[in-house]
């Protein structure tokens, strides 16, 4: 099959299967593929907010040190192939077409034998494992999808390090209704004896992670906020110091990124303690070269137009802190689009009082999108200055006009429409 044909098959058949937590299907699929994951060494990253940023920093530091590093990303922004990368190069269309053709044949045989057809995420995870094996990766930085225990990525056994980013309330229908339940689910990626590091967490989450590590004899380190010293912060980048690292520069914007960077540095410290050779100047180089789309990303400067994939209450709180830091007393126009299975009421309450005007959009995710009209109706209870738009392109044009050169436009609410949003600016370039 050609690339276009496998993409159509994924869209028309496989994506209709939705999300099915559990490891039985991917275990059977990988077994029939020869278990490519067994040859790989993993850095497994779980949590609610920050997985992409932390994974980027760790992977780039390892790459700068001369290692061949695979990355598995979820979700993607603009291109399907973003999800599988080696040393920051996306998997080729030919590799996707050939790999998925082989996997589809296996899935068809599984169905014929009365077994469940693997889901899209399971298939993509298997494709990634095979590709990373073929490319002979030294490490794979592997992001979980939604959870931990029953996440398809948790089929792996050769985990060198578990990394826990900030854990907060999200995906409650699947992961649990309390922070402790969600943290327990995320902690499911731990393997006996593997090492673990965590971002600063609230006491409830920290206790769960510590107890899980104790049960599995997994050495555990948690970043302390008091060890993070923030340096220069501007709209061009920022610096931080963490323990033995002084004035490390990152181009990632947002106050929350200093904690993410400290977590990445702690993860790299633990890898060095495990015998992995890393040079500090190369780590700094990797950090300086780290970019991560739609995470407080500045798409233009007259007016400032910022894209951020904040899609839950905790992420929105951190986003608002960053906006207040950089844009105090400035006119701010929002573009907002959300998924209907998110706690968008709390996101609205946390964010919309700051906006002079809000344009709502409908996410391209047909099954999960909250229509722009419905979102505008909800927002109107807290801020009357809101209107629904017919497209992302219309929202971008109207927001830019309203902001003028001196205002600020902030687009956020869901990563699902960020690809379309960013494409508006690519066209202009």
The Cα–Cα gap between 413 and 422 comes to 14
277 and 306 part of one domain: no
pLDDT of residue 172: 56
Cβ(189)–Cβ(151) under 8 Å?
yes
Cα four-point dihedral sign 318, 223, 173, 417: positive
pLDDT of residue 43: 98
324 and 234 part of one domain: no
Q: Please, what is the end-to-end C-alpha distance for the chain in angstroms? A: 34
CB burial string 19-47: b at 16+ within 10 A, e below: eebebebbebbbebbeebbeebbbbbbbb
329 and 280 part of one domain: no
316 and 278 part of one domain: no
pLDDT of residue 67: 98
53 and 180 part of one domain: yes
Show which of 288, 306, 339 is a domain's final residue.
288
Partners of 84 in the β-ladder: 72
pLDDT of residue 176: 66
Cβ(99)–Cβ(93) under 8 Å?
no
The Cα–Cα gap between 119 and 19 comes to 7
- For helices 120-134 and 24-32, what crossing angle results, to 10°? 40
DSSP 8-state symbol, 92: P
Chain position carrying tokens 């060494």: 41
83 and 227 part of one domain: yes
The Cα–Cα gap between 359 and 388 comes to 6
Strands 357-360 and 386-388: parallel
Cβ(100)–Cβ(94) under 8 Å?
no
Residue from 390, 395, 356, 358 nearest 371 by CA? 390
75 and 221 part of one domain: yes
pTM passes above 0.85: yes
* Sheet hosting strand 386-388, strand order edge to edge: 297-301, 304-307, 408-412, 332-336, 357-360, 386-388
153 and 67 part of one domain: yes
**In 163-254, which residue ranges form alpha helices assigned H by DSSP?**
172-175, 179-186, 203-215
262 and 310 part of one domain: no
Residue 88's Cα: distance from chain center in Å?
15
pLDDT of residue 23: 95
Length of the chain: 429
186 and 65 part of one domain: yes
Show which of 288, 317, 343 is a domain's final residue.
288
Q: By three-state DSSP, how is residue 382 classified?
A: coil
pLDDT of residue 428: 62
Domain ranges, residue 170: 3-288
Residue from 331, 318, 302, 290 nearest 405 by CA? 302
DSSP per residue, 12-81: HTGGGG-----SHHHHHHHHHTT-GGGG--EEEEE-SB-HHHHHHHHHHHHHHTT--EEEE-SS-SS-GG
Averaged pLDDT, groups of 10, the chain, 429 residues long: 95 83 94 98 95 97 98 92 97 98 97 95 97 98 91 96 90 70 95 96 96 97 96 93 96 93 98 97 98 93 94 92 94 96 93 96 90 98 97 97 95 94 81
CATH of residue 68's domain is 3.40.1190.10
CB half-sphere exposure, 101, CA atoms < 13 A: 11
Show which of 288, 319, 348 is a domain's final residue.
288
225 and 100 part of one domain: yes
pLDDT of residue 429: 52
The Cα–Cα gap between 183 and 369 comes to 27
pLDDT of residue 323: 96
Cα four-point dihedral sign 368, 374, 380, 381: negative
Strands 237-242 and 228-234: antiparallel
DSSP 8-state symbol, 253: -
Q: What is the total count of domains within the chain? A: 2
CATH of residue 403's domain is 3.90.190.20
What tokens were used for 296?
């407080």
279 and 367 part of one domain: no
Vertex 423: Cα angle to 301 and 389 (nearest 5) = 85
């Amino acid at each position: 099959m050609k690339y276009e044909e496998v993409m159509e098959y994924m869209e028309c058949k496989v994506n209709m299967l939705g999300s099915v937590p559990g490891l039985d299907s991917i275990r059977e699929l990988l077994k029939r593929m020869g278990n490519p994951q067994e040859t790989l060494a993993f850095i497994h990253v779980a949590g609610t907010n920050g997985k992409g940023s932390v994974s980027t920093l760790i992977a780039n530091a390892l790459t700068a040190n001369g290692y061949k590093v695979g990355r598995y990303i979820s979700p993607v922004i603009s291109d399907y192939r973003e999800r599988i990368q080696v040393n920051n190069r996306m998997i080729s269309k030919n590799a996707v077409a050939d790999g998925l053709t082989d996997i589809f044949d296996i899935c068809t045989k599984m169905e014929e034998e009365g077994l469940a057809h693997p889901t899209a995420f399971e298939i993509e995870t298997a494709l990634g494992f095979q590709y990373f094996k073929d490319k002979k990766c030294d490490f794979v930085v592997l992001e979980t999808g939604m959870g931990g225990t029953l996440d398809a990525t948790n089929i792996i056994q050769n985990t060198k390090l578990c990394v826990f980013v900030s854990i907060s309330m999200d995906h409650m229908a699947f992961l649990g209704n309390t922070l402790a339940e969600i943290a327990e689910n995320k902690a499911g990626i731990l393997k006996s004896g593997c090492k673990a590091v965590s971002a600063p967490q609230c006491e409830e989450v920290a206790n769960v992670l510590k107890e899980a590590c104790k049960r599995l004899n997994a050495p555990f380190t948690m970043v302390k906020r008091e060890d993070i010293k923030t340096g220069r912060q501007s709209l061009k980048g920022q610096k931080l110091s963490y323990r033995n690292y002084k004035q490390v520069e990152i181009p990632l914007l947002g106050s929350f990124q200093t904690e993410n960077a400290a977590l990445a540095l702690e993860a790299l410290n633990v890898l060095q303690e495990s015998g992995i050779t890393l040079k500090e100047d190369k780590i700094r180089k990797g950090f300086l070269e780290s970019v991560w789309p739609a995470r407080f990303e500045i798409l233009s400067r007259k007016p400032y137009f910022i894209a951020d994939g904040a899609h839950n209450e905790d992420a929105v709180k951190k986003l608002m802190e960053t906006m207040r830091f950089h844009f105090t007393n400035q006119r701010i126009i929002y573009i907002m689009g959300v998924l209907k299975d998110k706690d968008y009421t709390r996101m609205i309450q946390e964010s919309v009082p700051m906006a002079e005007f809000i344009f709502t959009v409908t996410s391209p995710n047909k099954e999960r999108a909250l229509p722009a009209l419905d979102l505008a109706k909800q927002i109107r209870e807290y801020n009357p200055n809101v209107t629904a738009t017919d497209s992302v392109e219309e929202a971008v044009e109207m927001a830019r006009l309203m902001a003028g050169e001196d205002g600020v436009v902030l687009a956020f609410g869901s990563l699902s429409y960020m690809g379309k949003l960013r494409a508006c600016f690519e066209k202009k370039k």
